[in-house]
């Protein structure tokens, strides 16, 4: 099995390389050949890259064979921790394995059921309408990312966690920089420290006076079972994951619909088409390129290659979600398509706990935007749209629109 260079024309590792709305051609080529190959990593040893849908689901669904909570000590003393975004692993569900993962997720799951999320629906509708009013007042042209796609999920997660609204701009800027894959390592360490310090202050205030928010609920109902470090880790993870993914979906998804006007009309005019459209956009766009590499706990066979115990395993979600083995004509956006078991939210025990909230936000925000501005269009040529190529979560940097 040959090993590919770390950097291609875009300067990004092959495991996260993108072109336009989909995976880069060289990533799709891996899927079309063997489906698996060894690639370099930024933190030392190489990793096996999985690109086929069945293989990615199999790996993500087997938490026994593929360990998530590994660190530099497992790489022979390598200095860098690839989960630098999370700093201390305490409370970070994405960096934990059972039984700690199981214990923490069991506490959080009741707050993220569809039924619980429906309590937030009126407030989400209100936030969306407020931002639509602000867009209308601003007038065209206006950047949809800065004035709609970013602030709506940010404000929702702020209220869910009890973060003061006046802190919103600061954490938006900080998390956006944290997710920039080109940021120097020292800067990432400092940004992570700042983020955790902010969350520690939030948790301290909540312990003194628990509110009706998620952190207050965890303190009231599970105080003795949670350490301060775990509460800080949970809050930090939800704050980053809870607004960056949805905001990028809103920006990139709007661009995708503008490029497919017949699909846009369905989302705008047919309420029954919206849930399916959201699922198709999640599959077709796959804004989360990958996730933390796993470490094999035993020898496993994939596509004729042997992944050895101790090997790292990476995966490419955009390639997996456009696998011809998953569905016909996977590179075509079709919001009327029957829902597929896409891995846009991951799979297995680490399937995104906030998926019901993200889906609700998109089901409200997409059609509301298109109904308010039925003549919505790009204010710049399509070829001038600047994709966030170097971000861990894919999207567009700006989306100037008019109507």
**Residue-wise over 149-182: b if at least 16 C-beta within 10 A, else e?**
bbbbbbbbbbbbbbbeeeebeebbebbbebbbbe
Q: Would residue 67 count as lying in a domain? A: yes
Domain that holds residue 140: 14-402
CATH label of the domain that carries residue 70: 1.10.630.10
* Cβ 246 vs Cβ 285: under 8 Å: no
Total of domains in the chain: 1
For residue 73, CA distances in Å to 78, 82, 99, 302 come to 7, 12, 20, 26
Residue at token pair 């990615």: 56
* Cβ 319 vs Cβ 31: under 8 Å: yes
* Cβ 252 vs Cβ 145: under 8 Å: no
DSSP symbol at 147:
I
For residue 102, CA distances in Å to 13, 89, 96, 234, 393 come to 32, 15, 9, 13, 26
- The arrangement of strands across the sheet holding 142-143 comes to 142-143, 400-402, 377-378
Q: Would residue 95 count as lying in a domain? A: yes
Tokens of 298: 């035993």
Q: Would residue 317 count as lying in a domain? A: yes
* Cβ 256 vs Cβ 267: under 8 Å: no
Q: Would residue 222 count as lying in a domain? A: yes
3-state secondary structure of 379: coil
Q: How many CB atoms lie within 10 A of CB 23?
A: 27
Closest CA relative to residue 99, chosen from 75, 72, 64: 64
**pTM of the predicted structure, to 2 decimals:** 0.90
Would you state the pLDDT for residue 250?
98
Q: How many CB atoms lie within 10 A of CB 227?
A: 10
Q: Would residue 294 count as lying in a domain? A: yes
Number of alpha carbons in the 13 Å side-chain half-sphere of residue 81 = 16
Per residue of the chain (403 residues), give pLDDT as tens. 444 433 444 446 777 788 899 999 999 999 999 999 999 887 678 899 999 999 999 999 999 999 987 876 676 655 444 444 334 678 888 889 999 999 999 999 988 888 888 888 999 999 999 999 999 999 999 999 999 999 899 889 888 888 887 887 787 778 767 766 677 878 878 888 888 888 899 899 999 989 888 999 999 999 888 998 999 989 888 887 778 899 999 999 999 999 999 999 999 999 999 999 999 999 999 999 988 899 999 999 998 899 999 999 999 999 999 999 999 999 999 999 988 899 999 999 999 999 999 999 999 999 999 999 999 999 999 999 999 887 778 999 999 999 9
First-to-last C-alpha distance (Å) of the chain = 52
Q: Would residue 279 count as lying in a domain? A: yes
Residue at token pair 């952190």: 215
Q: Would residue 99 count as lying in a domain? A: yes
Would you state the pLDDT for residue 83?
40
Greatest C-alpha distance within the chain:
60
What string of DSSP letters covers 9-74? TTSS-GGG-EETTEE-HHHHHHHHTTSEEEE--TTSS-EEEE-SHHHHHHHHT-TTTEES---GGG
């Amino acid at each position: 099995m040959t090993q590919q260079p770390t950097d291609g024309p875009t300067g990004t590792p092959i495991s996260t390389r993108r072109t336009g709305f989909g995976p880069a051609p060289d990533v799709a080529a891996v899927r079309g050949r063997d489906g698996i190959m060894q690639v370099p990593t930024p933190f030392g040893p190489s990793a096996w890259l999985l690109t086929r849908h069945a293989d990615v689901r199999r790996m993500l669904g087997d938490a026994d064979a593929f360990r998530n909570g590994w660190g530099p000590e497992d790489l022979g003393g390598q200095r860098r921790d690839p989960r630098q975004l999370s700093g201390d692993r305490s409370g970070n569900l994405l960096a934990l394995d059972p039984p700690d993962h199981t214990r923490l997720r069991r506490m959080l799951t009741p707050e993220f059921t569809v039924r619980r999320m429906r309590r937030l629906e009126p407030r989400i509708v209100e936030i969306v309408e407020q931002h639509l009013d602000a867009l209308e007042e601003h007038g065209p042209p206006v950047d949809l990312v800065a004035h709609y796609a970013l602030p709506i999920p940010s404000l929702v997660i702020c209220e869910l966690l009890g973060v003061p609204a006046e802190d919103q701009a600061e954490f938006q800027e900080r998390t956006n920089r944290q997710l920039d894959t080109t940021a120097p390592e020292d800067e990432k360490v400092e940004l992570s420290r700042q983020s955790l310090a902010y969350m520690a202050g939030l948790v301290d205030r909540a312990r003194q006076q628990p509110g009706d928010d998620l952190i207050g609920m965890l303190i009231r109902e599970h105080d003795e079972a949670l350490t301060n470090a775990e509460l800080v880790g949970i809050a930090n993870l939800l704050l980053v994951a809870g607004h960056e993914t949805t905001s990028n979906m809103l920006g990139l998804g709007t661009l995708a619909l503008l490029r497919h006007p017949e699909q846009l009309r369905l989302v705008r005019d047919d309420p029954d088409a919206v849930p399916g459209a959201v699922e198709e956009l999640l599959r077709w766009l796959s804004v989360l390129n990958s996730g933390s590499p796993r470490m094999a706990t035993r020898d496993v066979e994939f596509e004729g290659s042997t992944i050895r115990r101790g090997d790292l395993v990476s995966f490419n979600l955009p390639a997996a979600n456009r696998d011809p083995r998953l569905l016909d004509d996977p590179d075509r956006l079709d919001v009327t398509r029957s829902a597929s078991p896409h891995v846009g939210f991951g799979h297995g025990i680490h399937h995104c706990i906030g998926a019901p909230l993200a889906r609700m936000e998109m089901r409200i925000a997409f059609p509301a935007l298109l109904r308010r501005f039925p003549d919505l269009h790009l204010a710049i040529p399509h070829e001038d749209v600047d994709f966030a190529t170097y971000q861990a979560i894919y999207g567009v940097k700006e989306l100037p629109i008019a109507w």
